[in-house]
Chain A
Amino acid sequence: MNKKIKISLLSCTAIGSGLAQAEQVLSLHQMQYQEDDDRIKVADTSLALKLDFGVDYSLDLSLGYDSVTGASPTWQIANSRQISANEAIFRQNELELGQAITDETLLGYAHDVSQYQIQRVSLEDTRKSAAAALTIRDVYRNEWVLGLAHSEEDDYKSSSVSASYLLFLDKGKNRSVNIGFAYLNDKTLVFGTGYQSRTEEKIQVINFETGLTQVLSPTSVFDVKLFFNHDNGYLSNHYLTILRGIDINEDDVITDDEYFLASDSRPDVRNGFGTKLSYSTQFWPWLTGQFSYRYYQDSWSINSHTASASLSFEIFDGVFITPEYIRYQQGQAEFYLNPNVKEPYFTASGDGSNDTRLGDFSADTYGLIISYQVTSDWQLDLAVNRYQQSNQFAASWAVMGVNYRF
């Protein structure tokens, strides 16, 4: 580690455990994400600027641009584009009959259930985002952080405001409490019946988080957080589909010609809460470990456990190599049905989803981060990750970037 960094670190220790460095940093990073079986590819670019104005104010600005291409699997009707005009009219009539019975959105009909197949639907989208966060420190070195963020996609807009407060409790700045609040107001364009219309739906999200950070020793810190999330509005994924059996002829039997392609349907409200415990310690000046555990539970009956561990080795002066492992275990939502079971059909009404992300699975992430402080001003970052779920899904991503301090 070079002298300039050491000096800035020492000077910031006088501030307390806020870990603020009086420096300006401009960083540019690019991520390439690739799912196995040539499903989804993402190229994500992030430009960030951190400005310190004296020791009382900091401003973080970031711009992001990412593009998504590829295909995502979901239920579709086989050969739906190679049907006759009469067949198309017949399907449309059946669709209207089914839609008259249920309030759920129906997207298509095939006269035989065997024509419904899980196919890859190609997609392409771009997303632009901007965010700003202003940090204000008072005479006690407590911190207010006020944030604004906005992002836009072709069919999705998100705007958010946030505020958090860091309050030191003791003279040595060894104990602090953090309280944060965020409000997101999102809008999305949703497909209507038969993919023939699109309507704008709203999503409102409230995040609340509070935590206690305690310095245990000159080389270790412990942190505990409690968080609460409230989602309200259109929480379904309108790109995903399910199959619904609707008794059109009212004979109390669902026959093979009474299945419809319907949109993914989830409850309009979701309340989630959880806790996260983190522990950081420096075993030796060249070896630092970070460990965490998170528990999550929500009103959709989803629960999860996440455990992570990382070790940072400073193998040379300013060269850090950080292997990381994350283990994730999730329980399924109450309205989830595995699309690979023998009869993955839902009833005419009620919530239902075949989205495997709402299912029961575990996942492992293996990561390696390399950070190289080339000079006192320049730092290079490189990361590679491998992510593998127990349900056959797997992905890899790599990040490369540069930071310039001035």
Chain B
Amino acid sequence: MILKIHLVISAAFMVFSVQVVAAEKLTLLTAERQVSSEESSHVIAQAPSQITSSVRVVKKYKTKGRTSATSKYPATDEHTEQGREQGKSLVKTTLAEKSKNEGNSVGSAKQIKPLLALVAIDQKPPPSVSPAGQWLNKGFTWIDDWFIDKEVKPWQKAKLAEPVMSPAGVAPVMKKFASKIYISKAATFGGDGIAGGGCGCK
């Protein structure tokens, strides 16, 4: 009787062990497939001869909405293209130096196992000025020469963005009411925005 109990327990233990081993193998296989699929979708994967490490942890940074917005950016932007090329070369240089320092004795880059691989950002930053704006701005550069001491940076515009600095002030509707009165009590108008704004009070 005791022997039978031992046999049953032993059999159950063996079955459990086999299941655990199978699960571990399945996990490893899945992880490898994920890594390879990520690599294949990435820019660096397009140049596999430059980066030959077999196992890499790829960390992606994605901003909400960036992917969908990317398609709207212009196809060419020389500054961004330069930056991307510099980024690629930086990755190449870094990995090559790491290979040289650590893998000289072995002579193979396959032994490099960086915890975090540098990746080039394949998405362009938002362009700042439209071509029409750039072209038109050429006619106003004299303003910079005559009146502007120092360019105001975006992070210096908190005060400019306050409602009190807007043409209509902190209570924009007051201007709207006043404009209706001035239009009906005087003979001139203009300069406060086009008439389609909804006054309709002429």
Report which A residues bind B (CB closer than 8 A). Answer: 1, 6, 9-10, 12-14, 16-17, 19, 27, 29, 31, 33, 44, 46, 48, 54, 62, 64, 127, 129-133, 138-140, 142, 147-151, 158, 160-164, 167-175, 177, 180-184, 186, 205, 207-209, 212, 214-219, 221, 223, 225, 227-229, 272-276, 278, 280, 282, 285, 288, 290, 294, 296, 298, 300, 302-304, 306, 310, 312, 314, 320, 322, 328, 330, 333, 357-358, 363, 365, 367, 369, 371, 381, 383, 385, 387, 389, 393, 395, 397, 399, 401
Q: Report the 10 A-B pairs with minimum CB-CB distance, sorted nearest first.
A: A162-B196, A131-B198, A276-B191, A151-B200, A182-B196, A169-B137, A180-B194, A182-B194, A227-B190, A13-B157
Closest Cβ of chain A to B69, distance in Å, is 7
Q: Are A12 and B191 in contact (CB under 8 A)?
A: no
A209 to B167, CA, bound (A): 16
User: Which residues of chain A are within 8 angstroms of B129 by Cβ–Cβ distance?
Assistant: 140, 168-171
Determine whether B130 belongs to the interface, using a CB cutoff of 8 Å to chain A: yes
Determine whether B171 belongs to the interface, using a CB cutoff of 8 Å to chain A: yes
Contact with A along B169-202 (1 / 0, CB 8 A): 1110110111011100111111111111111111
Closest Cβ of chain A to B95, distance in Å, is 34
Closest Cβ of chain B to A390, distance in Å, is 12
Q: Are B196 and A184 in contact (CB under 8 A)?
A: yes
Closest Cβ of chain A to B186, distance in Å, is 6
User: Which residues of chain A are within 8 angstroms of B152 by Cβ–Cβ distance?
Assistant: 172, 174, 215-218
- Given A31-B177, A44-B180, A369-B174, decide whether A175 and B194 contact each other with a Cβ distance below 8 A: no
Q: Are A140 and B194 in contact (CB under 8 A)?
A: no
Q: Are A129 and B136 in contact (CB under 8 A)?
A: no
Q: Are A227 and B191 in contact (CB under 8 A)?
A: yes
- Given A150-B200, A160-B200, decide whether A218 and B160 contact each other with a Cβ distance below 8 A: yes
A226 to B173, CA, bound (A): 23
User: Which residues of chain B are within 8 angstroms of A333 by Cβ–Cβ distance?
Assistant: 187
Q: Are B154 and A16 in contact (CB under 8 A)?
A: yes
Q: Could you say which of B18-26, B105-113, B140-148 contacts chain A?
A: B140-148
Q: Are B156 and A162 in contact (CB under 8 A)?
A: no
Interface secondary structure of A, over-half rule: strand
Q: Are B202 and A186 in contact (CB under 8 A)?
A: yes
Q: Are B154 and A209 in contact (CB under 8 A)?
A: no
- Given A167-B130, A175-B140, decide whether A367 and B178 contact each other with a Cβ distance below 8 A: yes
- Given A133-B198, A167-B132, A216-B148, decide whether A173 and B154 contact each other with a Cβ distance below 8 A: yes
Closest Cβ of chain A to B109, distance in Å, is 40
User: Which residues of chain A are within 8 angstroms of B181 by Cβ–Cβ distance?
Assistant: 33, 387, 395, 397
Determine whether B6 belongs to the interface, using a CB cutoff of 8 Å to chain A: no
A127 to B201, CA, bound (A): 9
Most buried by A among B140, B154, B186, B192: B186
Report which B residues bind A (CB closer than 8 A). Answer: 65, 69, 72-74, 126-130, 132-134, 136-137, 140, 143, 147-149, 151-167, 169-171, 173-174, 176-178, 180-182, 185-202
Q: Count contacts between A and B, CB distance < 8 Å.
A: 263
Partner among A218, A278, A296 whose Cβ is within 8 Å of the Cβ of B167: A278
User: Which residues of chain B are within 8 angstroms of A174 by Cβ–Cβ distance?
Assistant: 148, 151-152
A16 to B28, CA, bound (A): 49
Q: Are A149 and B197 in contact (CB under 8 A)?
A: yes
Partner among B72, B167, B170, B173 whose Cβ is within 8 Å of the Cβ of A312: B170
User: Which residues of chain B are within 8 angstroms of A167 by Cβ–Cβ distance?
Assistant: 130, 132-133, 136
Closest Cβ of chain B to A329, distance in Å, is 10
Partner among B132, B153, B173 whose Cβ is within 8 Å of the Cβ of A48: B173
Q: Are A129 and B194 in contact (CB under 8 A)?
A: no
Partner among A48, A140, A148, A227 whose Cβ is within 8 Å of the Cβ of B127: A140
Q: Are A215 and B130 in contact (CB under 8 A)?
A: no
Known pairs A181-B194, A216-B152 / 20 extra A-B pairs, C-beta < 8 Å: A13-B158, A19-B165, A142-B133, A160-B200, A164-B194, A167-B133, A169-B140, A174-B151, A184-B196, A205-B202, A209-B193, A218-B160, A272-B188, A273-B190, A276-B191, A296-B188, A330-B188, A357-B186, A371-B170, A387-B185
A375 to B43, CA, bound (A): 50
Q: Are B154 and A149 in contact (CB under 8 A)?
A: no
Closest Cβ of chain A to B64, distance in Å, is 11
User: Which residues of chain B are within 8 angstroms of A33 by Cβ–Cβ distance?
Assistant: 181
Can you spell out 21 A-B residue pairs with CB atoms less than 8 angstroms apart? A13-B154, A13-B155, A17-B160, A130-B198, A161-B196, A167-B132, A171-B128, A172-B154, A173-B128, A173-B154, A184-B196, A212-B140, A215-B152, A272-B189, A274-B190, A280-B167, A302-B187, A304-B187, A363-B185, A369-B169, A387-B185
Query: Which B residue's beta carbon lies closest to that of A61?
Result: B198
Partner among A208, A304, A322 whose Cβ is within 8 Å of the Cβ of B188: A304
Closest Cβ of chain A to B16, distance in Å, is 53
